[in-house]
């Protein structure tokens, strides 16, 4: 259908290409400012290696937790209509609006004065712990996951479930064995976005978990601390690593999971 030289399709292609070029230029500028030779040294530093590992661990954990919650929520929103849904919908989008710093404050209030005593009794420490990193990332990235999954579930023909029911599935089984696998590409795509968000999260995390080195320091915090110290090029070197890790992981994940994307 697409003819060579059709102006509309040419323009659309050009805009996409231009945007990609812009992004590449912006990122390249970042690389250019960072001390690229220092990247090798970075990996020698135990503190950096800790931050990298913690970032990967917490972001994966937060993404998985967000997925676990967003899957039922997204499914619920995709399949149910009820009065006031528009308000619930906006409510679930609100964490996107809050500057992460404020989200962090809200979480600190919630897990500190409000819930702290109960949690302490239960032996769960969230404030100023790596667990707090996960919670903060989870909170900030959750709305993205919910919206993505919801779109993915809405695209699954409800009759697919009905057929499963006639084949002996309980509602849960039909969800687990049919809806979820069919929505897989959309779920995986949403998960990459969620993961990206958790990986870059800083404000809420710093507030809820603190920036204790070798304990709650993630890569974005390492970048921020370097910057606070006025050490821009070191900060940018870490940012470069963050970018490359993200690019690598995202691409590898997509290729490995064969999401909707073609190689």
- Residue ranges in contact with other proteins by CB under 8 A: 1, 3, 6, 33, 101, 105, 108-109, 112-113, 116, 127-128, 157, 159-160, 162-170, 173, 177-178, 181-182, 184, 206-207, 209-213, 215-216, 221, 224-232, 235
Distance separating alpha carbons of residues 90 and 106, to the nearest angstrom: 18
Options 38, 128, 151, 180; binder of its own copies; rule CB under 8 A: 151
| From the list its own copies, other proteins, none, partner contacted by residue 163 (C-beta under 5 to 8 A by kind) | other proteins
Q: Contact, 201 vs 95, CB < 8 A?
A: no
In 3-state terms, the chain is what percent helix, strand and coil (to 5)? 80, 0, 20
Nearer to other proteins, 127 or 219 (CB): 127
Radius of gyration for the alpha carbons in the chain, expressed in angstroms and rounded:
21
CB atoms within 10 A of CB 155: 12
Min dist CB 167 to its own copies, Å, is 15
| From the list its own copies, other proteins, none, partner contacted by residue 99 (C-beta under 5 to 8 A by kind) | its own copies
Min dist CB 145 to its own copies, Å, is 11
Distance separating alpha carbons of residues 96 and 145, to the nearest angstrom: 11
Distance separating alpha carbons of residues 245 and 38, to the nearest angstrom: 16
| From the list other proteins, its own copies, none, partner contacted by residue 126 (C-beta under 5 to 8 A by kind) | none
Distance separating alpha carbons of residues 111 and 208, to the nearest angstrom: 9
Min dist CB 210 to its own copies, Å, is 15
Nearer to its own copies, 15 or 214 (CB): 15
Helices (H) and strands (E) in the chain, counts: 13, 0
| Contact positions with its own copies (CB under 8 A) in 23-52 | 23-27, 29-30, 32-33
């Amino acid at each position: 259908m697409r003819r060579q030289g059709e102006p509309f399709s040419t323009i659309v292609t050009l805009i996409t290409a231009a945007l990609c070029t812009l992004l590449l230029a912006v990122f390249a500028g970042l690389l250019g400012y960072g001390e690229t030779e220092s990247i090798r040294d970075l990996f020698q530093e135990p503190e950096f290696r800790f931050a990298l590992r913690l970032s990967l661990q917490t972001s994966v954990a937060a993404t998985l937790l967000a997925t676990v919650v967003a899957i039922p929520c997204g499914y619920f929103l995709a399949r149910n209509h009820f009065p006031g849904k528009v308000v619930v919908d906006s409510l679930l989008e609100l964490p996107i609006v809050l500057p992460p710093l404020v989200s962090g404050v809200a979480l600190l209030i919630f897990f500190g004065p409000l819930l702290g005593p109960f949690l302490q009794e239960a032996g769960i420490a969230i404030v100023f712990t790596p667990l707090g990193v996960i919670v903060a990332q989870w909170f900030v990235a959750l709305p993205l996951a919910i919206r993505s999954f919801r779109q993915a579930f809405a695209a699954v023909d409800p009759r697919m479930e009905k057929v499963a029911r006639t084949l002996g599935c309980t509602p849960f089984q039909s969800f687990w064995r049919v809806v979820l696998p069919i929505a897989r590409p959309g779920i995986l795509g949403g998960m990459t976005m969620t993961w990206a968000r958790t990986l870059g999260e800083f404000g809420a995390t710093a507030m809820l978990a603190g920036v204790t080195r070798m304990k709650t320091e993630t890569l974005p915090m390492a970048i921020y601390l370097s910057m606070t110290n006025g050490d821009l090029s070191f900060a940018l070197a870490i940012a470069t690593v963050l970018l490359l890790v993200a690019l690598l992981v995202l691409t590898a994940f997509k290729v490995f999971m064969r999401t909707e994307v073609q190689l």
